[in-house]
């Protein structure tokens, strides 16, 4: 039981870290056509995420791999029940990566504009779909012993879409703060103004999400049983307020770190509410997938824990090194185009 709980916590941590890191990539991809005017400014924005976006997505692979290895039943049924949605998500992420790398490979305006549109689409769709997916997981899927009784369109319910909007707004604010931190001049100013304006939409989405969660899910049951867990949503709220406090003062680094904390605490709030479920059933609680009925054997979890203890710190150290190497602001290339 101990290792099952450990891997449930690690599962939540991996998803939280992924959303924190790739969230600003997705946000920058959605925002760059609006905060960058000239081609040089657009190039600078993309240069700010170009060296790090691939490393950030390692955490998505790690989260997916951890789900496969630690909770194989959950992984198998999730990809069976949500196949269309997850395939669309995968194609969107591929499109985003290709667009980042291909946009700067030719000088034609049509080429750059076309790949720029693909980059925007490949950033918006994953942000929305991740939110829709987790919103439906929070609600519970209509599944029982006979299988899944829903479809792709049933995922686009009001609560799922609201969670999708929340994720989009979180990533937009996160991305605008990253752009403000990593660029200068007019681009930084536009990004800072975008962060301040979008914050109000994020606040509205967060309030609507918290209120709707009372009626649409059972996430708050764990908080009523263990009030100490309320520190998680309280921390999320404080981090959200800190974003505005620092952004107004033009303290880009502190505002960005506050945004990181807000995303992590929002993810932790949802995972803590789910425990011990990984995917609850909305029609038959006995058919819910939990860390107890869908995990690998204790021996497998022990081996995974040892492997994670060795390699996760290596990944963390590599990313720290990467961010240190590329810590400087992105600037316009000599030709005015930027690397990307």
pLDDT in tens, 274-291: 999 999 999 999 999 999
Look at the block and give the residue holding tokens 């993309």: 46
How far is residue 9 from each of residues 77, 169, 206, 269, 312, measured CA to CA in Å? Answer: 20, 25, 24, 12, 14
DSSP letter for 218, please.
-
For 34-43, 193-202, 250-259, 328-337, which range has the lowest pLDDT when averaged over its residues?
A: 328-337
pLDDT score recorded for residue 106: 74
Q: pTM value?
A: 0.93
DSSP 3-state assignment of 337? coil
DSSP letter for 331, please.
-
- pLDDT above 90: residue 331: no
Q: What is the CA 35 to chain-centroid distance, rounded?
A: 21
In this predicted model, what pLDDT tens digit does every residue of 23-78 receive, in sequence order? 999 999 999 889 988 888 888 899 999 889 988 999 999 999 999 999 999 999 99
In this predicted model, what pLDDT tens digit does every residue of 101-127 receive, in sequence order? 888 777 777 888 899 899 999 999 999
Give the CA dihedral 136, 142, 146, 148, nearest 10 degrees. -40
Q: What is the CA 246 to chain-centroid distance, rounded?
A: 22
Judged on CB neighbours under 10 Å (0-12, 13-18, 19+), 238 is: middle
Task: Measure the CA–CA gap between 242 and 230, rounded to whole angstroms.
Answer: 18
First-last CA distance in the chain: 48
What are the φ/ψ torsions at residue 281 (nearest 5 degrees)? -95, 135
Residues of the chain above pLDDT 70, percent:
97
CA Rg value for the chain: 20
Task: Transcribe 82-106 into DSSP letters.
Answer: THHHHHHHHHHHHHHHHHHHHGGG-
Q: Of 30, 27, 32, 58, whose CA–CA distance to 47 is shortest?
A: 32
pLDDT score recorded for residue 37: 81
Give the CA dihedral 123, 127, 128, 130, nearest 10 degrees. 130
Q: Which helix (H) or strand (E) segment is 286 a member of? A: none
Q: Are 174 and 259 in contact (CB under 8 A)?
A: yes
């Amino acid at each position: 039981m101990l290792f099952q709980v450990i891997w449930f916590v690690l599962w939540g941590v991996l998803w939280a870290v992924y959303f924190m890191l790739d969230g600003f990539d997705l946000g920058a991809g959605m925002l760059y056509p609006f905060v960058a005017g000239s081609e040089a400014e657009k190039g600078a924005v993309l240069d700010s995420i170009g060296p790090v976006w691939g490393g950030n997505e390692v955490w998505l692979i790690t989260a997916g791999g951890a789900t496969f290895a630690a909770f194989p039943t959950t992984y198998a049924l999730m990809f069976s029940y949500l196949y269309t949605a997850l395939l669309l998500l995968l194609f969107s992420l591929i499109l985003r990566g290709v667009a980042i790398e291909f946009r700067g490979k030719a000088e034609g305006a049509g080429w750059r504009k076309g790949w720029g549109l693909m980059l925007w689409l490949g950033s918006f769709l994953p942000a929305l779909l991740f939110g829709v997916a987790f919103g439906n997981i929070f609600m519970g899927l209509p599944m029982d012993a006979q299988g899944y009784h829903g479809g792709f369109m049933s995922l686009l319910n009001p609560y799922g879409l609201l969670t999708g909007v929340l994720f989009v707004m979180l990533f937009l604010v996160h991305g605008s703060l990253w752009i403000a931190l990593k660029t200068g001049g007019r681009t930084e100013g536009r990004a800072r103004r975008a962060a301040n304006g979008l914050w109000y939409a994020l606040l509205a989405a967060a309030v609507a999400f918290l209120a709707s969660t009372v009626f649409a899910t059972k996430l708050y049951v764990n908080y009523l049983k263990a009030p100490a867990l309320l520190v998680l949503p309280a921390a999320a709220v404080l981090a959200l307020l800190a974003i505005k406090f620092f952004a107004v003062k033009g303290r880009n680094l502190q505002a960005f770190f506050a945004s990181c904390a807000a995303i992590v605490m929002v993810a932790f709030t949802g995972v803590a509410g789910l425990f011990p479920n990984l995917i609850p059933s909305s029609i038959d609680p006995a058919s819910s997938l939990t860390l107890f009925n869908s995990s690998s054997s204790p021996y497998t979890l022990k081996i995974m824990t040892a492997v994670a203890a060795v390699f996760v710190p290596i990944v963390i150290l590599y990313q720290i090194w990467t961010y240190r190497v590329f810590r400087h602001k992105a600037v316009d290339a000599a030709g005015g185009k930027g690397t990307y």
